[in-house]
Homo-oligomer: A and B are copies of this chain.
């Protein structure tokens, strides 16, 4: 394993549901695994409305970044998978409230389905906070 790759036991996140880390560091960047709407206690929000699911997935991105010495305002690339492109306006509003002034590169990509019947999954890349 590379010395500069961190495999974090993330805090504020349910344990990974498969063979992956929530976040990994390399080359001054943090790579965040696809985050689903799953609460820290493992509760899946698949049956909830889109807004609730989006807020939980974003909260998980923030927790994964925090666990890897990064933060929301260090995000540089965000890839958002949604099962219904009509959820785009709601997502864009929630996301802008969540992230504030920062505007990372982003793609919102419709897919036919997501794991556990979720309506949203969010993958991200961020910078490592200086000093870490």
Chain B nearest CB: distance from A4 CB in Å? 7
Interface of A, secondary structure class, is mixed
Instruction: Select the stretch in A38-46, A48-56, A92-100 that faces chain B.
Output: A92-100
Contacts of A81 in B (CB 8 A): 107, 109
Q: How many residues of A contact B (CB 8 A)?
A: 58
Given contacts A32-B105, A127-B4, contact A85 B115 (CB under 8 A): yes
A residues apposed to B, CB below 8 Å: 1-5, 7, 16, 18-29, 31-34, 73-74, 76-79, 81, 85, 88, 92, 95-96, 99, 101-115, 121, 123, 125-127, 129-130
Query: Can you list 17 pairs linking A and B with CB atoms under 8 Å apart?
Result: A1-B73, A7-B102, A16-B103, A21-B104, A23-B105, A24-B103, A26-B76, A27-B29, A31-B125, A81-B107, A81-B109, A85-B114, A108-B115, A109-B114, A110-B111, A110-B112, A111-B111
